[in-house]
Amino acid sequence: MRKEFAWRSLSLASIFAVIGILIIVQMVRIQTSVEAADFRDQTNRYKGWIENVYPARGEIYDRNGKLLAGNQSVYEVGVTLDDVESAQSIATILSTVLGLDYVNILDSINNANEEQVYLSLSDYVPAGEIAELERIKNDIENDPNAYDSLAGLSFREHLARSYPEETIAANIIGFVNRAGRGYFGVEEKYNDLLAGVPVQVWIPADPNRVEEIPQVPDGTTLILTLDRELQASVEEILDESLYTYGAESGSIIVMDPQNGEILAMASTPRLNLENYSDYELVFDNASEYNRAINMPYEPGSVMKILTMAAALDMGVVTPDTSYTDTGSFPVGGAVIKNWDEKAWGVQDMTGCLRHSLNICLARIAVEMGPENFYEYMSAFGIGHPTGIDLSGEAGGRLKVPGDSDWYPVDLATNSFGQGVTATPIQMMMAASAIANDGNMVTPHILYGMVRDSKQYDFPPQNAGRPISKETAYTLSEMLANSITGEDSLATIPGYRLAGKTGTAQIPTEYGWYSKDETNASFIGWGPVDDPQFMIYVWLEKPSVSVWASKTAAPVFAEVAEESVRILNVPPDFIRMQYAAEQQ
């Protein structure tokens, strides 16, 4: 029995030994055969990595189809590590052509993680530099005697944001950083729509299989209400005005008061969006990026049109109401005086506006009473953001009775724009009620969007009716009549316009107002019978003259002339003649 057991054990051991030898032989055969090469190819075929693929960012156009923000091809330069034959050659070429650090590149390649398949060396490389690298790589590959080797070096094309207009409309558009995030303006406000939805995909290491990467839907394309030609013209006028009047900075807005469409919005300073990394060199803080919506200030006498609108609407006054200006008006323990500290005698309400009399408007506000006055100002949107579709809008401040820092004298000073802060866009929304039959419109910059080859337009939004149609008409006529006298610099031939200046002293850190520095503003619209545009001008600290009638008013006229030209608004007599022929 023992011999038989030993024989069986020896037989089994022999069989297992033969099987082991056969396995080893088969392994050697597989590694050296054609099938082995195919197997390795199949293995390499599935080398790669998981990556987020981002869609092309949606483009931005003006209302006439002019491209304001688009995309351009740039390249990522990297290496497939298993294919690298000479890290020294790659480091030398990239340091020469791209200006990269030779030691850093060499160290990155040689010390890459063993499990790493691909290594990025540089990104956002322009197409011209990639063309030079490809030429050098082809020359080396085609030279049998070449000592260098660029094997493993690859170029991956992708899109980056481009701004063909550079500074034009920069304060409205904003910019996108390399991480794909929008900052300021439209780029930030509509970042999610523009960016689209990224998709996580498998990226094959084999460059021949790039076509297998799935395509993702592009981001939404936006069409703005801006007119690029008018925008460029307004920016040029603003820049010239700062030089002409010695102003530190400024802002100009052109809006359609019937629907709230922003046709132009200029602010200084402006950033070249192609060099957005210069942001900190251009701006001290974010509120300077677009003063028209980001920076509240005491607007001064432009606020008088809202006080007058409220008084007319309540029936406290009529255009013919007589008022005797004695040169001073005591209220709340203080004495209100006019801008020139003079008495103007008997005036009607149009005269109060024409001569911009502080005392007149203060008396009107007191007659209305604080409850009524602040109710109207709130209805006009003062102290609240307009909701314009641009990022970073500021709300301003309207103190009201009950606030710890409100005093009875504030009712008087608020009536002519002191002690209250608002942005230019807030003032435009409020004044749109006067130009638009009592209906106030929400200002907006988005005209429509394109998605899946379909365009979707956005209707205007009504922001309320703070005054009646009759009040709006009456006040427009008063303002049209008022600028034919003192503010004649605000008129243009052939068009009847309405408007109001605003010269506001600037509060100091010590609690009083500076006598030497002002904010000069003007708001106006036209043609009066059918307003096609509303313009707001704000010049900060003009030095040539502190008065808005000498600075902001002529700027308004210049912008109005460009507006009627570019928007193709016929002169009054032509429009009236045409209307008569249609009857």
Distance between CA atoms of residues 214 and 118, nearest Å: 19
Asked if the peptide bond before residue 531 counts as cis, ω within 30 degrees of 0, the response is no
Mean pLDDT score across all residues of the chain:
87
Per-residue pLDDT, 45? 52
Which tokens sit at 315? 């029936």
454-512 pLDDT, tens digit each = 888 888 889 899 999 999 999 999 999 988 865 579 899 999 999 999 999 888 877 77
The one-letter code for the residue type at 156 is R
Judged by DSSP in three states, 356 sits in: coil
Distance between CA atoms of residues 533 and 255, nearest Å: 6
Residue whose tokens read 């020139």: 340
285-321 pLDDT, tens digit each = 999 999 999 999 999 999 999 999 999 999 999 999 9
- C-alpha dihedral over 554, 560, 566, 570, to 10 degrees? -130
Specify the higher pLDDT residue, 38 or 434.
Answer: 434
Residue whose tokens read 């109005």: 560
Judged by DSSP in three states, 560 sits in: helix
**Per CATH, which fold does 72-162 belong to?**
Penicillin-binding protein 2a (Domain 2) (3.90.1310)
Contact 535, 556 (CB under 8 A): yes
Distance between CA atoms of residues 369 and 373, nearest Å: 6
| Domain 228-582: which CATH number of 3.30.70.120, 3.40.710.10, 3.90.1310.10, 3.40.50.300 | 3.40.710.10
Does the structure show a pLDDT above 80 at 376? Answer: yes
Which has the closest alpha carbon to 478: 360, 343, 337?
Answer: 360
Residues, the chain = 583
408-443 pLDDT, tens digit each = 999 999 999 999 999 999 999 999 999 999 999 999
Per-residue pLDDT, 7? 63
Per-residue pLDDT, 511? 73
Per-residue pLDDT, 204? 66
Does the structure show a pLDDT above 90 at 185? Answer: yes
Contact 517, 506 (CB under 8 A): yes
Distance between CA atoms of residues 260 and 256, nearest Å: 5
Per-residue pLDDT, 399? 92
pLDDT cut 90: percent of the chain above it: 55
Per-residue pLDDT, 516? 83
Range with the poorest average pLDDT among 24-28, 336-340, 482-486:
24-28
Contact 106, 121 (CB under 8 A): no
Range with the poorest average pLDDT among 117-131, 252-266, 351-365, 412-426:
117-131
Which has the closest alpha carbon to 219: 253, 250, 192?
Answer: 192
**For residues 522-533, average pLDDT:** 95
Does the structure show a pLDDT above 90 at 4? Answer: no
Q: Which residues pair with residue 261 across a beta bridge?
A: 444
Please give the backbone phi and psi of residue 406, each rounded to the nearest 5 degrees, phi first.
Answer: -95, 135
Range with the poorest average pLDDT among 8-22, 264-278, 361-375:
8-22
Specify the higher pLDDT residue, 41 or 529.
Answer: 529
Domain boundaries, the chain: 72-162, 228-582
Give 40's pLDDT tier (boundaries 50, 70, 90).
Answer: very low
pTM of the model: 0.84
